[in-house]
Amino acid sequence: MSRPERAENPARCESLPATDHLILASASPARAALLTGAGVVFTVAPASIDEAAVRHAAVRRGHDVACTAKRLAWLKARQVARRTALHHPSRRWVIGADQMLELDGAWFDKPGSLDAAAAQLRRLQGRTHRLWSAFSLWCDGREVATDVETASLSMRPLTEADIARSVAAEGEALCGCVGAYRIESDGAALFTRVEGRQSVIMGLPLEMLLARLAGHDVEIGHRNPISTLPGA
């Protein structure tokens, strides 16, 4: 896959307190929880792109899942970075993120319904799948870093009763989870083997992202509550 267009040299912004300038371009509760747990102060301004169209185009062009996850994170960050530059010029750092699941070459979407979540668990049970979580970090409307990290998970064989219990226990929260499980909750009991960081499984390569922020002297802050940008 060809890389998204970018400046010849990655942007480097001066140190800015994240209490004023760090924006998460995602409505994901799991990503917000990861950042909050790490003491990061941020605002939320979700991106709105046609993810299905991007994935379908990637399949047609023969792009792999890792590059596609990075592409989606990049597009989300770019959209919010440009929108933010127009309406909130003092807010400069934007984090876009995406997660994809691959099983034997097939890509999975978020289930969208409890019936679809149950059907997805039937396909995953007794097998090993991979998750690819990507982030794209932008500053002042320019890309700073885009990267991806993977995790491998082996799900134990499940009976119909197991699947029904899992879906009932988690409820509607599963509709927005690409794997139809939540590793940070009851979903952990579904697996016999997990290789990879929990943050990656939850949808954001947190350690990698924090290292990038530290490398650009961004103070992540720890005092103010999360807020949402107007019009987000």
Is 217 catalytic? The answer is: no
The tens place of each residue's pLDDT in the chain, 232 residues long, gives 444 444 334 444 544 443 447 899 999 999 999 999 999 989 999 999 999 899 999 989 989 999 999 999 999 999 999 888 766 656 579 999 999 999 999 999 899 899 999 999 999 999 999 999 999 999 888 899 999 999 999 999 999 999 999 999 999 999 989 999 999 888 899 999 999 999 999 999 999 999 999 888 887 764 433 333 333 3
CA-CA-CA-CA torsion sign (26, 207, 36, 155): positive
Chain-centroid distance of CA 153 in Å reads 17
One of 98, 104, 186, 217 is an active-site residue; which one?
Answer: 98
- Three-class secondary structure of residue 183 per DSSP: coil
- What would the two tokens of residue 62 be? 């023969």
- What would the two tokens of residue 152 be? 């491998």
User: What are the structural domains, with CATH classification, of the chain?
Assistant: 18-224 (3.90.950.10)
Nearest to 12 by CA among 221, 218, 219, 220: 218
Largest CA distance in the chain: 55
Residue with tokens 């289930």: 111
Number of other residues whose CB lies within 10 A of the CB of residue 195: 11
Q: Which amino acid is at 171?
A: G
Q: Which amino acid is at 42?
A: F
Could you tell me whether strands 22-24 and 43-44 are parallel, antiparallel, or unpaired per DSSP bridges? parallel
Q: Which amino acid is at 209?
A: L
